[in-house]
Amino acid sequence: MSGVNKRVLVLGGDGFCGWPTALHLSSIGFDVVIADNLSRRTIDAELGIDSLTPISSIAERLRAWKRVSGFEIGFERIDIAADYEALRRLLERYKPGTVVHFAEQRAAPYSMKDARHKTYTVDNNVRGTHNVLAALSELALDCHLVHLGTMGVYGYDSADLELPEGYLDVLLEGRDGAHHRRSILYPTNPGSVYHLTKSLDQLLFQFYAANDRLRITDLHQGIVWGTQTDQTRRDPALINRFDYDGDYGTVLNRFAMEAVVGHPLTVHGSGGQTRAFIHIQDTVRCIAMALENPPARGDAVKILNQVAETHRVRDLAALVAKLTGAEVSFVDNPRREAAENSLAVSNATFRALGLQPILLEDHLLSETMDIAAQYADRCNFDAIPARSVWTPNHNPGVVREQMKEAANA
């Protein structure tokens, strides 16, 4: 990695992926500081939801880590989108060798609720990312930026092809008949305002890598499942968050938790959507590998697909139902997405770096269900249904509800 600078700034380090990553990096010898505005905890309060697992305050989390590991992690409460100066001062003072950037509003359903939530998501994510880039450029720090992007930037096409790692090689015919080779960003086709912000981030990265010669890695990550990692297991106060609500809960963790609490598994539409998945333990390992293998100055943005395997949603529901006897319920799809898609993804770079991913067949789903069972009494059933709809006037479920309300009026 970049010289001997082992200082890492983890933006969004209080979140589901950021917290276990901060602990993992600290445990393998990095000096870690977290910057987070705790907006996820505020959004929990806004939505009247909570992590299924009882997460401690950030102060208690950091004390517990010091107690069990002997290592100290610093914390700064900063809004990286709203407070450029505070972010710049922190970077100037700490001079990290790497910034790992998780600090974005990451739920597609939350980003699609209404105009206010769309605007918030774009302002928060795009400004935050741009502030980080502008500050690294202004300070001329020799720093590697590792950003958590998403598989969703590629969109979900059904052609029988393997998604490459970020770029597409194309041959264009010039006016003189000569052929010109170009490597272009894979055409983006986001399925929500949240995913759109990750597509916009890609252009910001492309510009700053070319113009300012910043060293940038963009990790196109699939849906993360599981809860605990080797470090978060070490003390109850280190436990990771477990989102299960209709906005922030992701599909596999939701199915595991729904099965445990006796709620029918909420398959959207036909459940024919195929998505990429990765276990949280592999998320933290991949990020450490990305840190240790930065691009060179002047290189194009290094894009890696951070995924382990792909699955179709109804197959996941069938697997969970088989393991638990849960009922499967096909509900109206609140999103606008293809009813069926196939998906194959290259994860060649992480494989070459030694990733041997945890797969569903490795039985860690039962561990996720054990966690869900342990905290099942904290489940709020009202929070389970996905209520954010992509096209309110065209969604059949909403139209039916409106008709029912009109009939009862």
Nearest distance in Å: CB 273, ligand USQ: 4
Residues binding ligand NAD: number (CB under 6 A): 27
Strand 162-163 vs strand 223-225: parallel, antiparallel, or unpaired?
unpaired
**Partner whose binding site includes residue 61, from ligand NAD, ligand USQ, none (CB under 5 to 8 Å by kind):** none
Nearer to ligand USQ, 5 or 188 (CB): 188
Write the secondary structure of the chain as one string of H (helix), E (strand) and C (coil): CCCCCCEEEEECCCCCCHHHHHHHHHHCCCEEEEECCCHHHHHHHHHCCCCCCCCCCHHHHHHHHHHHHCCCCEEECCCCCCCHHHHHHHHHHHCCCEEEECCCCCCHHHHCCCHHHHHHHHHHHHHHHHHHHHHHHHHCCCCEEEEEEEHHHCCCCCCCCEECCCEEEEEEECCCCCEEEEEEECCCCCCCHHHHHHHHHHHHHHHHHHHCCCEEEEEEECEEECCCCCCHHHCHHHCCCCCCCCCCCCHHHHHHHHHHHCCCEEEECCCECEEEEEEHHHHHHHHHHHHHCCCCCCCCCEEEEECCEEEEHHHHHHHHHHHHCCCEEEECCCCCCCCECCCEECCHHHHHCCCCCCCHHHCHHHHHHHHHHHCHHHCCHHHCCCCCCCCCCCCHHHHHHHHHHHHHC
Q: Binding to ligand NAD by residue 109, rule CB under 6 A? A: no
Q: Binding to ligand USQ by residue 34, rule CB under 6 A? A: no
Nearer to ligand NAD, 12 or 97 (CB): 12
Q: Which of 251, 308, 355, 383 is close enough to bind ligand USQ by CB under 6 A?
A: 251
283 catalytic per annotation: no
Applying the rule CB under 6 A, the residues between 215 and 274 that interact with ligand NAD are 221, 223-224, 250
Q: Binding to ligand USQ by residue 254, rule CB under 6 A? A: yes
Nearest distance in Å: CB 243, ligand NAD: 7
Packing angle of the helix pair 115-139, 84-94 (nearest 10 deg): 40
375 catalytic per annotation: no
Nearest distance in Å: CB 221, ligand USQ: 6
**Partner whose binding site includes residue 52, from ligand USQ, ligand NAD, none (CB under 5 to 8 Å by kind):** none
Nearest distance in Å: CB 302, ligand NAD: 17
Q: Which two tokens stand for residue 275?
A: 């998505």
Nearest distance in Å: CB 102, ligand USQ: 10
Applying the rule CB under 6 A, the residues between 1 and 20 that interact with ligand NAD are 12, 14-18
Q: Which of 237, 256, 284, 313 is close enough to bind ligand USQ by CB under 6 A?
A: 313
198 catalytic per annotation: yes
The 205-244 site mask, x for binding ligand USQ (CB under 6 A), equals -----------------xx---------------------
Q: Which of 275, 285, 302, 312 is close enough to bind ligand USQ by CB under 6 A?
A: 275
Active-site position among 198, 227, 232, 248: 198
Q: Binding to ligand USQ by residue 365, rule CB under 6 A? A: no
Nearest distance in Å: CB 41, ligand NAD: 7
How far is C-alpha 267 from the geometric centre of its chain's CA atoms? 21
Stretch that binds ligand USQ, among 69-77, 91-99, 103-111, 133-141 (CB under 6 A): 103-111
The residues annotated as belonging to the active site are 150, 194, 198
Applying CB under 6 A, the residues found at the interface with ligand NAD are: 12, 14-18, 36-40, 79-81, 102-106, 124, 128, 148, 150, 221, 223-224, 250
